[in-house]
Structure 1
Amino acid sequence: MPAPSDHTPSPATPAGSGHSRRDLLKQFGGTAAAVALLAAMGPLGAAAPAAAATAADRKIKKLLGRLTLDEKISLVHGATDPERLGQAGYLPGVPRLGIPELRLTDGPAGVNVVASATGLPPVATLTASFSRELAREYGELLGREGRTLGLDLQLAPQMELSRAPYFSRNKDQTGEDPYLNGQLAAAQVQGIQAQDMLAQAKHYLANNQRYGEFDRTRPDDPAVNFDFRVDDRTLHEIYLPAWEAVVQAGVASIMAAYNHLNGEWNAENRTTLTGILRGELGFDGFVTSDWGATHSISIEDGLDMQMPNGSFFGAPLKKAIQDGTIPESALDTAVGRILGQYDRFGMLDGTRKPAPPAIDVEAGARTARKVAAQGAVLLANDGGLPLSRSALASLALIGPTAAQVAVSVAGERAYGFEDRMVSPLDALKKTLGDGHGGHDIQYSVGVDLTGTAVPASVLTPAGGEGHGLTRKPADGGEGEAVVDRTVDPAVDFTGDAALPAGSAYSWTGTLTPPSSGEYALRIQAWGAAAKLTLDGREITAAGTARDGFARKWSSIVPTADGLDNGEGTARLEAGKEYRVEITATGWAKDVHGRGPVQVRFAWVTPEQRAADIKAAARLAKKVHTPVVFAFNGSGGTTGGSGDRTTLTLPAHQDELIEAVAAANRNVIVVLNVGDPVTMPWRDKVGTILLAGYVGQEGGWSTADLLLGKAVPGGKLTVTYPRREADHPVLDPAHPERYYGVDNTVTYSEGIFVGYRHFDRDGIEPLFPFGHGLSYTKFGYDRLSVRGAGDGLEVAFTVTNRGRRRGAEVPQVYVGPADGAPVEMAPRSLVGFDRLDLAPGESRRVTLRVSARQLSYWDTGKQRWILPTAHRSVYVGSSSRDIRLTGTGTPGNH
């Protein structure tokens, strides 16, 4: 076979130059002169002419000359917004020079402020659509609603690669493939910024787990803040392509992540911030720290803005400039980058497009419903879906997310319009109507997430006599206490029994369980921040206000009566006394939605849990078709502050599904999950629909999918392993990949993440990357592969061979190059499209594969190498469902 090419220029290297951007940085020692030179070279490395200074450049330079030192410093760190909109960050602006305020809102799934905004499904659900058009529409909604609510910058898209299946933020991300990540993230950027809203892509770089990532309480302790080690080739081939895609899409800003990377904090890593991001990738926007991720005055390293305060970039930066430790030119560079984006979006001269006057609630709802429908993945179907007439005549829904819609879990999203959150159960009933028996759909909770108030009979007051818990006023309350000290038989102050707004109480005593086993213990609250401790250990909390408002997202759904639902579990012994303390502190007067203090101490006993599962199985036996809704994210861990510790469904749901499947072989499982779960019941369940987290309109979209009014066309963006140990990051032989060795996490799997690992090692997954069925069938034929420039052109025909309209996502993969000096993946995704086809309709698809997608990163030469060998080309419906195979040689050979 031909030897691999060694003359292919790196896309980041100037034509005719013998030096890469990183070579130049090394020669100049990373100085400001090197940075300026690299910025002038542009994203593709073409040197800019000396006279290329634009009017915008001159405008920014003039502004910099008029700004005082204090004014400049005010533009590089966060401050408190006097209007208190509840957003994530704020810059005050400089009114005398026409520099406006900048308000930054959290994301990535909607606008997260005090005011209501559309509750979108999270990014994982969006990405499963494999639709660039829908991703752009998603971004447009973020930008449009953000502008309406007075915001300027959206902290979105979130686009890390989903490397570790335990990562609590996987539901916010774009999957395990770097090409897919980049395509969907770039489309979101384009949509957001088309509304003159700045996008901030997050979190740069290799931020793939919470375990060992960053501990705010001990920020400088290496025992709890691991170093993450990623080799140069793996960074370039797996973790940087999505960042390059958003840079090429013109993203205004990038957020530096919390974690340590290759020996440096991301917010002070000159190699990645200056050498790679600005040098190789050509980024010319500004970089902020994640909130609290700044560890030094790292403005010369490439960090332009500290969030959310000025602990380093405020008074310490001013002192460093005044004593000559840091040159003022470094500050000018950072401010110039920030103001350059202000100018680009018309914020300095008043040419920014006007914000919409009000949120179009119906338009947002249409997008949310579309994302939930197009992002649903039909994992398996033995004919159970769409629901037949027989099924509809005798149907039961089981599980809490059947009766309450699973919008999403945890924070960094829009909460949504609560009055639009219709459950799948109610949506089915309303869609079917009385004439079709919709009102006869039966329901069983299966897994009770609300529980009942813990009774007085198992509680003993702090004094040791009687039943109940001792209540007394606690710190933080307002006004005079209603009681000094009393005994309450139960902590259940909800509805008409709520306590006065702003009041604060504690309850103490002991709990003596009547039997041994696992108890679900819950603290449920609204109008107050409440906390439950057992024997001095905090079990759970609820109702905590942040940024002037609170949301009901401590669990996947609120309580049945509308309280925030903090949940924990504890294994208790019968007859043993456990010290209980409950506190409830009413919200301050400036918290939005403040009202009476509602608090309840609830539980689900082992006996009640077993009874609920038995009741669900009895109901399943009586009906034609039972549909079990299963979830993860209960308790806030998925998307919260801690990673998952298992891929097992929580709350004994495997036991529930097994019991229902044993009672009725027609069982259908609907999964409201945001990342892989194991399925020990897989062989007993013929139909599985991965609905994901579905957003505020998800009850309607789920009903549409079950009824066949919408046809699932989504595809898996991550591989589902049969066993946790099959996953490369959870392989017991490689603890360094997730748990770390000597406080260091090493990405020793290299480029073999996700499906690449399963393919190389011949491991059969539970469901492969790219998998997803439909209610119709698709045929593939007429493959053509030819060289096109330095890449390939792949063409083929897809035909809907069924009787229903449906969506298919054809995927193109390439194999390794023979004779390459590095190991390459057996298959890598290089192209995809989403097609909507009527019955019998055919569509010719032509996809271009670029030279970059066919290249590998040479760490010695610090550039991309394009092998000239033949490449196998695979076209199919998933990474394992290959329908057509061909070969091609890059270029016209």
Structure 2
Amino acid sequence: MTTTPAPVPVRSHAELLELVSRLDLATKVRLLTGATSFTLHGEESIGLAPMAFSDGPTGVRGLKFTGGDHVALFPSATVLASAWSEETAHEVGEMLAEEAERQQIHVVLGPTINLHRTPLGGRLFEAYSEDPLLTGRLAAAYVRGMQGRGIGACLKHLVANESETLRNYMNSVVSETALREVYLLPFEIAVQDAGAWSIMAAYNDVNGVPATEQDHVNNGVVKGEWGWDGLLMSDWFATKTSAPAALGGLDLVMPGPDGPWGEALVADVESGAVAESVVDEHVVRLLRLAERVGALGSEDQRRTWPAESLAPDAPARREQLRRLATDGMVVLRNEGGVLPLAGTGRVALIGRHGVDTICMGGGSATVNPPYQVSIADGLREALGDRLTVVDGVEVRERAVAAEPSAITDPETGEPGLRVAYLDADGVVMSSEHSSVSSVVTGWDDVLPRPTEQVVLTARLTQPGPVRLGVVGGGRWTVDLDGEQVGATELVAEGSDPGESMLKPPVWTVDTHSTATDGRGALVTATLTVVRSEPQPGPDGKLSTLSHVIASGMGMKGLVVSPVPAPAEQVLAAASTTAADADVAVVVVGLTEEQETEATDKSTLALPGEQDAMVSAVAAAAKRTVVVVNASTPVLMPWFDEVDAVLVVGLPGQEGGHAVADALLGVREPAGRLVTSWPSADGAAPAWDVVPDGLTLEYRDGTFIGYRGFAAGRAAAPAHWLGAGDGYGAWTYGSARLVEGDAGAPAVEVTVANTSDHDSREVVQVYLRPDEDDQPVRLVGFAPVRVPAGGEGTVTVATDSRLWRRWDEAADAWGAPLSAGTLLVARGLGDVRAELPLAPSR
């Protein structure tokens, strides 16, 4: 496979400005709003080609929000971050760049580098960590990997965007100290250390000013103090104004073709409200991005896309994704060395997440993978007839669109369904096969006229009891073999357009299907799109979002699933199966209901009767291993009842194979937690995600996560950031201070692996300042691989940016920290050495 990356940019600011001077005002403004949902306008008069963007936290989805081409599904960002490895992050950046090249995508919208401030955040799975240094260093490595191949990365979401509830309207109130020392720090690291080419401004307000209008952050800090020369784009539909956003540092409004700029921004320039030089500077930044990704210049100056590329299901890609997933899995308990299971006799796999493993979260991180391997499939391939698999208790509160394998297109017989789009006159504008059971209307349509009706038809693959229904706002009728089984009108709950896409309303009915002439029953679900007059949002404003919500845009789909068995029956079967096996592996977790964009959690408890299932199995089994299929903290009241706990997160399309590798010791699950796991609901330094009115105060200040736990601002967590055992056993020998870079000390540490397994350790160094108002903080980390029975020495550099402190009175960085103690640790729950610092470094 060969590719020609984008050429190294050579045009100076003055040369780019000269190109801009050739354009009239209307053309310049036109370039500053997207052409479509995920593309930008070109302008051949100056050699500017159209550019394509794609969502990208867990795969490069392409230009379609749902459906579209098959693309590789990566482990979630939280899983990848759990490797605590810049090499891993760099490799992921390169792999995503390859996926982008295959689809001719110029900019991938990632990484997400907001912090895990509260464990209730619904979108945490696609961000790295609660710690700003770990997040920033991994983000910088990811950016270097991606941009090294000429594909632009986009840091998101600037800034203080740590929860989803009322995200389009809420106001994050953050002290300047916390903003500088914590929430801006990952962006600063990725800008300074990797030169990220673009950043995305968030939906929320920050201290009363929309993120898209933040002169202080956007112009003052990022473009001013940091000297950043990249492009600042809006989150999709986030821009609320014309002149304030243009003056506040925003360069590009997304999506297109409509938005608050256009004629309004032209009028603002003509009236003098916005200087034309401001527009010119925005276009210069757009052209600089275009040059960097190979979309500016003559035809022979632009990048050449690869003629061949690695398919998302190619053996090499499968191997990479399998390895990356296992490397991010975390062993939290392993009593008696029950793991790895190599040589174990009969294994019982129990739980819905075992047979229907959740491999990705919801929202813009969702992709259309070529396949997803369940844990049952992975273990069955490895263990053969030594494995017994039983389903578990119900894990969902709401029905979801059908698995493609449950339905077939009545015209082609392929897995999936038939979708017809009709206009206002009932004319079929398009009839097409969909390999997925849900579609989006009003978003990335390429139809000649607006859609007024959508007809979904499919044949059921199995006769018998079935839960049948529909997903999405609008007026529905549902027929089964010509007989109507239901009619309903569904309305999205909230005022976020994302909810109509990511948390659409659902209606279901339990019925019975039969097979006729060897064919499954025919389901027809007809949707009439409902549009309304725009209404003011919770902030009282009639914004672009109000028009989007009123347009009827959203996800529409067909529900087909088995009717759930009673919980008592399921628990009894689980206990019986567990008792007959040598070891029981119980898989529990969350789904995209909890781990998704546009909605937050209300509890860390596992949904349904999963806790009862674990306890029932543990009481019956000889040995019990629990696999947690969730990328964010969950409560584990049964923790002391089981022998082992393995956290596998959302492991991507190779998930089942990767879990099998981890359980059987084919590859070590050497991950470490990237977020502290609270011991109970509410027991965290920051908890609430629901704004008071529309205001959410960041009262924890700089004491985010483990920092607040260490300061006694909440009960000690069940598991600290950095915790994880792998299959090694570690003793720490000498630890001493050595000379570091940029005036920050380093620590040289010797570790010994006393286990029978080759293993990987992550040595962590924390600074505990003497000052009571200063939190303990991670200042450095370094991995080291050590063979069984061997020793290794590693030098952990500390980052000088973590020794700074912001002086609010002076509105500047003050004298750096000097007095305190460096803690050498495996997370703050397992400190191995303390190194006092002299009062002055």
Partner residue in 1 for 2:650: 693
- The CA distance in 1 between the partners of 2:557 and 2:818, in whole Å, is 69
Asked if residue 804 in structure 1 is aligned to residue 757 in structure 2, the reply is yes
Q: Which whole-Å deviations, capped at 9, do the CAs of 1:222-258 have from their partners, x for residues lacking one?
A: xxx2221000101111101101011111111110000
Within a 5 Å distance, the mapping from 1:22-101 to structure 2 comes to: 55-80=11-36, 88-101=37-50
Q: Which of 281, 287, 294 is 2:232 aligned to? A: 287
CA shift at 1:452, angstroms? 12
For 1:497, the equivalent position in structure 2 comes to none
Letter in 1 for 2:648: A
Aligned identity (percent) is 29
Q: In the alignment, residue 149 of structure 1 is paired with which amino acid?
A: Q
> Do the aligned partners of residues 385 and 194 (structure 1) sit closer, same or farther apart at CA in structure 2, a change above 3 Å counting?
farther
- Which residue does 1:441 correspond to in 2? 387
Question: Given the alignment of the two structures, is residue 862 of structure 1 paired with residue 811 of structure 2, yes or no?
Answer: yes
The within-5 A match list for 1:146-185 is 146-185=100-139
Partner of 1:244: 188
2:218 maps to 1:273: yes
Determine the C-alpha separation between the residues in 1 that align with 2:812 and 2:467. 56
Shift of 1:879: 2.0
1:824 match:
774
Q: Pairwise mapping of residues 769-788 of structure 1 onto structure 2 (< 5 A)?
A: 769-786=721-738, 788=740
Deviation at 1:531, TM superposition (A): 9.2
Say yes or no: does 1:743 pair with 2:688.
no
Aligned equivalents of 2:612 and 2:477: distance in 1? 30
Inter-partner Cα distance in structure 2 for 1:537 and 1:396: 44
Would you say 1:430 and 2:381 are equivalent positions?
yes
From 306, 316, 319, the equivalent of 2:253 is 306
Q: Are residues 1:367 and 2:367 paired?
A: no
- The residue that corresponds to 1:35 in the other structure is none
Q: Match for 1:764: what amino acid?
A: A
Rate the CA distance shift 1:569–1:124 in 2: closer, same or farther, 3 A.
Answer: farther
**Match for residue 674 of structure 2?**
717
Change (3 A) 1:282 1:356: same
Cα distance in 2, alignment partners of residues 672 and 567 from structure 1: 24
Q: Shift in Å at residue 411 of structure 1?
A: 3.0
What are the residue-to-residue correspondences of 1:297-696 with 2, within 5 Å?
297=242, 298-309=245-256, 310-349=258-297, 350-351=300-301, 354-360=304-310, 361-383=314-336, 385-388=338-341, 391=344, 393-413=345-365, 415=367, 417-419=369-371, 421-432=372-383, 438-448=384-394, 504=455, 523=469, 538=490, 583-585=525-527, 599-600=558-559, 604=563, 608-634=566-592, 636-696=593-653
Distance 1:524 1:871 in 2: 60
Rounded to whole Å, the distance in 1 between the matches of 2:589 and 2:253 is: 37
Q: Which residue identity is paired with 1:61? A: L
Between 1:362-371 and 1:750-759, the stretch displaced more is 362-371
Unaligned runs of 5+ in 1: 1-52, 81-87, 215-224, 433-437, 454-472, 482-493, 495-501, 507-519, 556-565, 571-580, 588-596, 731-736
Structure 2 unaligned residues grouped into runs of 5+ = 1-8, 63-67, 401-419, 429-436, 438-452, 458-465, 479-484, 510-522, 530-555
Give the direction of change, closer, same or farther, for the CA distance of 1:890–1:256 in structure 2 (3 Å limit). farther
CA distance in 2, matches of 1:132, 1:530: 50
Distance 1:864 1:800 in 2: 42
Whichever residue aligns with residue 339 of structure 1, its letter is L
Is this contact kept in 2: 1:259–1:266, CA < 8 A? yes
- Length, aligned pairs only: 719
Asked if 1:186 corresponds to 2:140, the answer is: yes
* CA shift for structure 1 position 708: 0.5
Question: Is 1:263 matched with 2:208?
Answer: yes
Give TM-score, length-normalised by structure 1. Answer: 0.75
Deviation at 1:766, TM superposition (A): 0.9
1:147 partner letter: E
Q: Which is further off, 720-729 or 402-411?
A: 402-411
Deviations 1:64-119 (A, max 9, x none): 11122222112210112xxxxxxx52112101221111111012111012222211
Q: Deviations over 1:783-817 (max 9, x none)?
A: 1114545221211112222211111111011111x
Question: Using the alignment, how far apart are the partners of 2:455 and 2:98 within structure 1?
Answer: 40
The separation in 2 between residues aligned to 1:265 and 1:889, in whole angstroms, is: 44
Q: 1:327 to 1:784 in 2, by over 3 A?
A: same
1:503 is displaced (CA, Å) by 6.5
Give the letter aligned to residue 424 of structure 1: I
Q: Is the Cα–Cα contact under 8 Å of residues 665 and 685 in structure 1 kept in the other structure?
A: no
Aligned-pair CA distance for 1:325: 2.5
Q: Do the aligned residues in 2 keep the contact of 1:400 with 1:446 (CA within 8 Å)?
A: yes
Q: CA deviation at 1:830?
A: 0.6
How big is the shift at 1:535? 11
Partner SS, residue 273 of structure 2 = coil
Which residue type is aligned with residue 441 of structure 1? Answer: L
CA RMSD of aligned residues (A): 3.6
Secondary structure at the counterpart of residue 705 of structure 1: helix
Say which one has the larger Rg: 1
Q: Which amino acid aligns with 1:880?
A: G
Q: 1:604, CA displacement in angstroms?
A: 4.1
The answer to whether the 8 Å contact 2:422/2:454 transfers is: no
TM-fit CA distance, 1:505: 7.9
Q: Secondary structure at the match of 1:70?
A: helix
Per-residue deviation, 1:479? 6.6
Secondary structure of the corresponding residue to residue 833 of structure 1: strand
Question: Against the structure 1 CA distance between its residues 389 and 828, is the aligned structure 2 distance closer, same or farther, given a 3 Å change threshold?
Answer: closer
Specify the alignment match of 1:34 in structure 2: none
Could you report, residue by residue, the CA deviation over 1:446-503 in whole angstroms, capped at 9, with x for unpaired residues? 12579999xxxxxxxxxxxxxxxxxxx998799799xxxxxxxxxxxx9xxxxxxx97
User: Per-residue CA shift, 1:374-411, capped at 9, x if unaligned?
Assistant: 100001111364344663x2111011222234221213
1:157 Cα deviation from its structure 2 partner: 0.5
Could you tell me which amino acid in structure 2 is paired with residue 871 of structure 1?
A: G
Structure-2 change in CA distance of 1:855 and 1:374 (3 Å): same
Residues 56, 204 of structure 1: CA spacing in aligned structure 2 closer, same or farther, 3 A cutoff? same
Alignment check: 8 A CA contact 2:752 2:790 kept:
yes
Instruction: Give the deviation of 1:729 after TM superposition.
Output: 1.9
Give matches, 1:84-233, under 5 Å. 88-113=37-62, 114-214=68-168, 225-233=169-177
Q: How far 1:534 moved relative to its partner? A: 10
d(CA) in 2 for partners of 1:402 and 1:723? 25
Q: Partner amino acid for 2:108?
A: Q
Distance in 2, matches of 1:760 and 1:73, equals 50
Q: 1:759 aligns with which of 699, 707, 710?
A: 710
**Deviation at residue 610 of structure 1 after TM alignment:** 2.5
Partners of 2:780 and 2:799 within 8 A in 1? no
In the alignment, residue 273 of structure 1 is paired with which amino acid? N
Q: 1:55 to 1:706 in 2, by over 3 A?
A: closer
CA positional deviation for 1:845 = 1.2
Structure 1 residues 689, 477: CA separation in 2 closer, same or farther (over 3 Å shift)? Answer: farther
User: Which one of the candidate residues 811, 833, 839 is aligned to 1:884?
Assistant: 833
| Residues 126 and 365 in structure 2, CA contact (< 8 A), matched pair in contact too | no
Question: Is contact 2:379–2:660 with CA below 8 Å preserved after alignment?
Answer: yes
Tell me: CA distance 1:868–1:168, structure 2 relative to 1, closer, same or farther (3 Å).
closer
* Corresponding residue number in structure 2 for 1:563: none
State the TM-score, normalizing by the size of structure 2: 0.79
- Residues 584, 599 of structure 1: 8 Å contact kept: no
